[in-house]
Amino acid sequence: MTTSTVDSPARRSSRGGRVLRYVLLVVVACVVLGPIYWLVTSALKPTADIYTYPPTWIPNPLHLRWSNFADAWHAAPFGRFFLNSLIVTAIGTVGEMLCATLCAYAFAFLRFPFKKVLFGVLLGAMMVPGHVTLLPNYLTISDLGWINTYQGLIFPGLGSVFATFLLRQHMMTLPGEVLDAAKVDGAGHLRTMFRVVLPLSRPMLITAGVITLVAKWNDFIWPLIVTNSTNMRTVPIGLLFLKTQEGYNNWGAIMAATVLVIVPVLVVFFFAQRQIVAGLTQGATKG
Amino acid sequence: MSAVDARAGARSADTVGAGDRPPPRRRRPRHLREYLLFLAFIVPNFFFVIVFAYWPVIYNAYLSLTSWNMLAPVKEFVGLTNYTDLLTDGDFLGTLRITVIFVLGIVLGSMVLGLAIAVLLNEKLIGRGFVRTMAFAPHILSGAAIGTIWLFIFDPNYGLLRPIFGVVGLASPNWMTSSKWALPGLIIVYLWKNMGFIATVYLAGLQNVPRDLYEAAAIDGSGPWHTFRKITFPMLSPVTFFLVITTTIGTFQAFDIIALMTGGGPGNSTTILSWFIYQQAFKAFDAGHAAAAAMLMFVVLIIITALQARFLERKVHYR
């Protein structure tokens, strides 16, 4: 702890100020973590501990009720919901990343008249709010007879603007010599892309991929309107289903189901935390 | 690369004024191949973006001029009737009022909280990295899950807020079943979801503020609050503007948490524009009014984005 370096005005403050800052840090931590703690402990509490006041802050580790998870699993076809979410997320992410990668490579390395204008057209799509496309896309998918199908769930999400933007910006920063060397070797564009550009873009591919993945797993409104049979619902819709089914009578099971929904995302988040944060805050710092 | 360009340039200079003599054979096919490859690479992405983002705008604009129950074979053209209906309808005006409160509450609230947290986390405190990571996490959690968690937290009998209100001797209100508390309740949930993301972006901005500015302020004997107002906040203004715009656009489209927690109710007390559009289209099957409301939302968001563009332009001139 050196006090000689001044890196912000508050560093010069008193010992009391430091204590206050730690108190505030703890408050922030409690506000942020409180709901998550409440979720996880409630998912493990026996029913009697949930419906009691004052609440049981720390559930008895010897009497955890794991069967909350079994209850949730049986109250709604969660196995099916997970399967649907996995299929839609996996295929949707791979598909969108393919579209994004090819498109980003073209905009970064290939010549074409009015390339900048075309890129502007692509970026413009970011301004179209989801609620404007909702009804027309529903009608399109419905005309194709794709209501309650995986195609219907996946196709409208395959076009990529944000991931394309992230990847193209990254590819533009790659050193020109590497690409020129590949050209001298006589490598075609496909080979340059797979042998040189994609390996060098790995961090950004991970960032864009993970952001896409999380967005697809969490997607709510599109699966809600494009499916209406229970066996085509995805996990987030499953929560709505469970709530309507169980009402407020079985918080243990509802909390257990919620844990199941967020655990995959949290696992991804803790592994790829740096990439996610960097990608999602990109627009702000570069803007 | 540049050598190739130079040669290409020389060639085209040669061919200027060459009349209808065919251009040199060997260069054109190579350009053509590159153009074709470019098209092949962008076609998949552009196909989906055009079919599922641009075409819907045109289609939606058309639908907004019709009266259609989504079943009848014919869409009746009604001109601007849907718009005049909406703008003279008390329910819709109520929706707009609720939307403004909702958006203002969430944007202002999460900006203030986010900035405060960022300033705190900018201090060299033990554990700040952990808090920063945890604070960001809600931003990527499913809205459906967040809604479910908070539904239980808001439960007046067994929820987490009852003991907290109990500390100051108050009863936790019937949050989600009272038309007075449901909207503030939703705003609280969105604050919780947004503030960590905003703090993270602000934190990056804070770390970009040149240190010598603070040193100069310290020499001038400027106090912390004064320094914040005269140096930190102005230096952060581009970040602030970016965040206000993106949070506003995001909040206008809020949906999943509302779907889980209130479904627009009780009554219409939490029916914001996005929920109204969904209701009109998929509950009332009134395509025309839904499309007109969506167009209004689109126009508002375009105006907000244009404001951002103008602001950034001014920012560049200022520098």
Residue B89 sits at the chain A interface (C-beta within 8 Å): no
* Closest CB from A128, A235, A284 relative to B204: A284
Number of domains in chain B: 1
Which residue of A3, A26, A28 to mutate against B (max B Cβ within 10 Å)? Answer: A28
Specify if B6 maps to a domain: no
Residue B196 sits at the chain A interface (C-beta within 8 Å): yes
Specify if B163 maps to a domain: yes
pLDDT in tens, A93-123: 999 999 999 999 999 988 899 999 999 999 9
Residue B319 sits at the chain A interface (C-beta within 8 Å): no
Residue B145 near residue A36, CB atoms below 8 Å: no
* Closest CB from A7, A38, A239 relative to B153: A38
Q: Which of the four pLDDT bands, split at 50, 70 and 90, describes residue A225?
A: very high
Residue B2 sits at the chain A interface (C-beta within 8 Å): no
Specify if B49 maps to a domain: no
Specify if B278 maps to a domain: yes
Residue A5 is predicted with a pLDDT of 43
Give the CATH number, domain containing residue B197.
Answer: 1.10.3720.10
Which residue of B4, B5, B36, B42 to mutate against A (max A Cβ within 10 Å)? Answer: B42
Residue A119 sits at the chain B interface (C-beta within 8 Å): no
Specify if B302 maps to a domain: yes
Query: Crossing angle for the helix pair A235-246 and A251-271, nearest 10 degrees?
Result: 160
pLDDT tens digits for chain B (319 residues)? 344 444 344 444 444 444 455 555 555 566 888 889 999 999 999 999 999 999 999 999 999 999 998 888 888 888 899 999 999 998 999 999 999 999 999 999 999 999 999 999 998 888 888 999 899 999 999 999 999 999 989 988 888 888 888 888 787 788 888 888 999 999 999 999 999 999 999 998 888 888 888 888 888 888 888 888 888 888 888 888 888 888 998 999 999 999 999 988 788 899 999 999 999 999 999 999 999 999 999 999 999 888 877 776 665 444 3
Task: Say which amino acid occupies A110.
Answer: L
Specify if B39 maps to a domain: no
**Cβ contacts of residue A287 below 8 Å, gap of 6+?**
B238, B242, B312
**From the CA of A240, how many Å to the nearest CA of chain B?**
6
- pLDDT above 90 covers a percentage of chain A that reads 44
Q: Which residue has the tokens 């009578």?
A: A249
The A residues from 247 to 276 touching B (CB cutoff 8 Å) are: 248, 251, 254-255, 257-258, 261-262, 265-266, 269, 273, 276
* Closest CB from A106, A138, A176 relative to B42: A106
Q: Please give the average per-residue pLDDT across A212-238, as a whole number.
A: 93
Dist. CA A168–CA A101, nearest whole Å: 8
Dist. CA B264–CA B266, nearest whole Å: 7
Residue B129 sits at the chain A interface (C-beta within 8 Å): no
Residue B15 near residue B24, CB atoms below 8 Å: yes
Residue B31 sits at the chain A interface (C-beta within 8 Å): yes
DSSP A247: T
| B77 phi, psi to nearest 5 deg | -80, 125
Specify if B35 maps to a domain: no
DSSP helix/strand/coil, B76: strand
Residue A8: closest CA among B128, B242, B239, B316 = B128
Cβ–Cβ gap A160/B117 under 8 Å: no
Residue A284: closest CA among B240, B289, B309 = B240
**From the CA of A62, how many Å to the nearest CA of chain B?**
22
- pLDDT above 70 covers a percentage of chain A that reads 92
Where in the sequence is the domain holding B304, given as residue range(s)? 83-318
All domains of chain A, ordered by start, with CATH?
A: 9-65 (no CATH), 73-286 (1.10.3720.10)
Residue A142 is predicted with a pLDDT of 93
Count A/B contacts: CB-CB distance under 8 Å: 310
* Closest CB from A9, A22, A53 relative to B125: A22
**From the CA of A100, how many Å to the nearest CA of chain B?**
7
CB atoms within 10 A of CB B32: 10
Cβ–Cβ gap A129/B301 under 8 Å: yes
Q: What is the ipTM, given to two decimal places? A: 0.87
Task: Say which amino acid occupies B13.
Answer: A
Cβ–Cβ gap A156/B52 under 8 Å: yes
pLDDT in tens, B130-181: 999 899 999 999 999 999 999 989 988 888 888 888 888 787 788 888 888 9
Specify if B42 maps to a domain: no
Contacts of B258 in chain A (CB under 8 A): none
DSSP B177: G
* Closest CB from B52, B148, B302 relative to A133: B52
